Chains A and B, each alone.
Chain A
Amino acid sequence: MTQALRRPASAALAAAAATAFLGLAACGAPDSGAAARPASASASVPGGAPADDGPALPAAVGSTAPSNRVTFVPERVVLPGGDSAPVQPAVTRDGELQVPEDVQHVGWWDGSAHAGDPFGNTVVAGHVDSKTEGLGFFVRLLSLKKGETVTLRGAGGHHLAYTVTSVRTIKKDALATGSAAFDQTGDPHLVLVTCGGDYHRGAGGYDSNVVVTARPKGLAR
């Protein structure tokens, strides 16, 4: 059950002004007006009203502890050697992740973890190539090696570096069911996905995905 509580704007403004004044003057000291009030004062005397009718000290406003984790939506991926590409949010439609058409851009699955989240994989996928645009940015995944560094960058200068822990080729039909690529409950990882395996012209292209898994080096900044 909700209840509407309203009062005239002028009264609210007056109360706000009075509150601001009291906040400056009182600083946590007992209400001096109430303390100085003579016992004989009637209700009509200013300052003689019950405690909850007058202005009140401002409540403390809760703050975020400085140790709060930084998390961010990836906007750029930087591969070893410094090559980087823009990362755009990508949605799943009819079961298929819709990676950007531009093969020089890659897509972050919008249902996956933000960089810096304590649980779940951050999934970034991109084209290895396309019929119209040639080789894609993520063709570079094919030459990534264990131990190399991949960095995600986000708005506000946030960034998180990851160490590559594995590069695997997984049959496309086993990616969702037979691998942990999309897991959102385990320890956080960065998972980069592109295509690989055997290429069958006219039969759906590549038969596998190349999946790079990387572990965060500490917390996001």
Chain B
Amino acid sequence: MTARVLRRLLTLVVLLGATLGLAGLTAAPSFAANEASLYVVQGLPGRSVDVKVDGKSVAKGVKTAAVVGPFKVAPGARKVTFSDGGTTLLSRSLSVKARSSWDVVLHLPAGGSTDPTVTVFRNDTSSVPRGKAELVVAHTATVPAADIRVNGKVLFSNIANGQSLDLTVPVATYKVAITPTGKKSPVYLGPVSLTVKGGAVNRVYALGDPENKTMNVAVHVLATGSSGSERPEKVDTGTGGEAVGAVRFLAKLTR
């Protein structure tokens, strides 16, 4: 591993930290009416992007890997337009249902084209088991199908651009790396340290292009609330005494 690569990894770790700081914990969606929530994930390397929804400006100068929103919109067909310095990059429409939550991701397609594309992901904001986090990893980078290694183990395999995978994980800090499907190298990204937030959906977008050394991640944390009861202190599962004979038999077997 060259010093340059090491420096790059260090930068990524710093970037990830900064990203987490930037993205922070977005407010739990409070659907006053039937509004849907749109979040914009800026996955284009080296650009600062202005965003319009249905022709109205909602955000300006959104930097690479930043997440902005929620923008509350009425259900139906909505149009999101991205521009950079007054030049329209592209517009895309999406159809949203009442009270739904969406990440609208501006990113590079797979295969080396520099024409930006938009992929929308519906956010599952149902509650997460107590003490755990929902971790969603989405592939929005230029690389071919990839594996996501978590603490060295392939927990998400063979994921292509525009696809995502999800897992319920304990609240902890994980080392996340992206490698080609079935291979340990070249490492497209990381390993980066990711501390997942409990009672929340932690959406991690891999973005950029390793050829241009612009691989990065955007992190969107949506609070969801927790489900499930606390850890038991005690399990009482016998009051009759009828099983005493069987219990003694087991004691003999396992002695």
> Which A residues fall within an 8 A CB radius of B?
2-7, 9, 12-13, 15-16, 19, 50-69, 71, 91-93, 95-97, 99, 109-114, 117-120, 125-136, 138-139, 142-143, 167-169, 172-173, 175-176, 182, 184-185, 193-197, 199, 201, 204-206, 209-210
- A140 to B147 Cα, complex, angstroms: 42
Secondary structure dominating the interface of B: strand
Q: Interface size of B by Cβ–Cβ distance < 8 Å?
A: 81
Docked complex Cα distance between A9 and B165 (Å): 35
22 contacts between A and B (CB under 8 A): A2-B69, A5-B74, A13-B76, A50-B88, A52-B52, A56-B92, A58-B92, A59-B104, A60-B118, A64-B163, A97-B234, A97-B235, A111-B228, A114-B168, A129-B242, A131-B240, A193-B237, A195-B243, A196-B243, A196-B250, A196-B251, A205-B236
CB pair A56 B231 closer than 8 Å = no
Closest to A123 in B: B232
Contacts of B119 in A (CB 8 A): 59-62
For residue B222, CB closer than 8 A to chain A, the reply is: no
- B190 interface residue per 8 A CB criterion: no
| A134 lies within 8 A of B76 (CB) | no
- Across the interface, do A143 and B246 meet the contact criterion of CB distance under 8 Å? yes
> Interface code B60-94, partner A: CB below 8 Å = 1, 0 otherwise?
00000000011111101111110100001011111
Q: Which of A12, A135, A201 contacts B243 (CB 8 A)?
A: A135
Q: Are A195 and B236 in contact (CB under 8 A)?
A: yes
> B229 near A92 (CB under 8 angstroms)?
yes
Question: Which of B3-11, B14-22, B127-135 contacts its partner?
Answer: B127-135
CB <8 Å contact, B165 and A125: no
Complex Cα gap A114–B228 (Å): 11
Known: A52-B81, A60-B119. A69 touches B247 (CB 8 A): no
Chain B residues near A206: list those with CB within 8 A. 237-238, 247
* B164 CB–A CB distance under 8 Å: yes
| Residues 218-250 of B contacting A (Cβ, < 8 Å) | 227-244, 246-247, 249-250
| Cα distance A182–B76 in the bound complex, in angstroms | 45
Contact string against A for B residues 165-178, beta-carbon threshold 8 Å, 1 for contact and 0 otherwise: 11111101000000
**Set of chain A residues within 8 Å of B168, measured between Cβ atoms:** 71, 113-114, 117
- Best-buried of B52, B160, B228 by chain A (most CB within 10 Å): B228
State whether B234 touches A58 (Cβ < 8 A): no
Closest beta carbon of chain B to A120's beta carbon, Å: 7
> Are the CB atoms of A142 and B95 closer together than 8 Å?
no
Docked Cα-Cα span, A67 to B76, in Å, equals: 31
Cα-based distance from A168 to B251 in the complex (angstroms): 9
Leading 9 A-B pairs by shortest Cβ distance: A195-B238, A95-B233, A111-B228, A56-B91, A59-B92, A129-B240, A16-B77, A62-B121, A12-B76
Q: A16-B95, A52-B81, A62-B120 are in contact. Are A205 and B52 (CB under 8 A)?
A: no
In the bound complex, what is the Cα–Cα distance between A143 and B249 (angstroms)?
9
